[in-house]
Amino acid sequence: MGIRITGTGLFHPEHVITNEELVESLNAYVEKFNQENAEKIAAGEIEARRGSSAEFIEKASGVKARYVVEKEGVLDPNRLRPNLAERSDDEISLQAEWGVIASKQAMENAGVTAEDIDVVILACSNMQRAYPAVAIEIQTALGIQGYAYDMNVACSAATFGLKQAYDAIKSGARRVLLVNVEITSGHTDYRSRDCHFIFGDVATASIIEDTDSKTGFEILDTQLFTQFSNNIRNNFGFLNPSETTNADDKRFRQDGRKVFKEVCPLVAKMITKQLEKNQIEPTNVKRFWLHQANASMNELILKLVVGKAAAEADPDLVPIILDEFANTSSAGVIIALHRTADQVNDGEYGVLCSFGAGYSVGSILVQKRVA
């Protein structure tokens, strides 16, 4: 027997925003802002806003487009955020709705029903509400008994969630449903040249169970690490109404250069030590499913782990999905696994590694097992 990921699911909304569309919206906002604040800008009281280009976005990140929950509101220069209808408490929440769709697909792919699952974990960066837990809403909508809870380790939430699922099964649970629903449009600052292009909206789900009769990815080792940093931050929270503060910090913000410089070697070192611990040569890993934040970050991490020659010899070692999806926070590693799982053969190794605010890093070593 071995604890395996036996099924995954993926859902994304129908609305797509290209880099060109996003830039057109940003530049219209920038022109209006700078005109309306020309005197203050000239006096040095505030800084002029900067426009962008589709070429800059793709070069800086590798992102070409993203799926979004709602398109018109995001692209409206006078709004620059999704325009969503509020739902009553008697209706299923948007986050739970997406989670249910992805979960049903994962359950079908794993060949399990609601009666087979004991635990539901919603692990993501962006929770629709504080309580009751959205995981419990997903659990109830699917008809699952047992227990459910929400957890947040930012972009590392999926790998941290896999560790919690692994531990739950070790403690007696039969199967765990791990759900990652990232509706990132709600926390993206679409006024900012530096981060308006980064994120996309999506939902993923995974079934984790102890089995020797199903094809899946057996979890061989789990490594988690956290270290506090302000370089990626969002101050939105329940104390905000009691504070007299600037609302600009209540959305995603980061110092991208510092994140790149500090996180890449940290992640590479962690993966390398994990492989050494398990006596596996980096060049014997078939796929590295890395967090889908930035193509250049993943390229550097791969070179640090396997060496420049090996990395350049096989560019498919790190599947990239962020060109289509952008950064989907915790869900990115699961999307990459979902899209490329069939590229790994029986007995071959893979690494799921996500990293983000905290800093947090989660690395899961797996081996493909074919029933």
Active site residues: 155
| CA 173/CA 312 separation, integer angstroms | 42
Gap between the Cα atoms of 249 and 114, Å rounded: 40
- Work out whether strand 253-254 and strand 232-233 pair parallel, antiparallel, or are unpaired: antiparallel
* Contact in structure between 297 and 263 (CB atoms under 8 Å): yes
DSSP 3-state of 80? coil
Which phi-psi region, left, alpha or beta, contains residue 235 (left: φ > 0; alpha: ψ -120 to 50)? Answer: alpha
Q: Is the peptide bond before 359 cis (omega within 30 degrees of 0)?
A: yes
Contact (Cβ atoms closer than 8 angstroms) between residue 295 and residue 62: yes
* Ordered DSSP codes for 44-79: TSSPPP----HHHHHHHH---EEEES-SHHHH-TTT
**8 Å CB contact between 76 and 115:** no
82/228 Cα distance (integer angstroms): 31
* Whole-angstrom distance, CA of residue 142 vs CA of residue 104: 8
- 102 and 179 Cβ atoms separated by less than 8 Å: yes
Q: Is the Cβ–Cβ distance between 362 and 354 less than 8 Å?
A: yes
> Rounded distance, CA 218 to CA 366, Å?
5
| Burial degree of 239 (CB within 10 A; 0-12, 13-18, 19+) | exposed
Maximum separation of any 2 CA atoms in the chain, in Å: 71
- Angle of helix 332-340 relative to helix 157-170, nearest 10 degrees? 70
Q: Tell me the three state secondary structure of residue 232.
A: strand
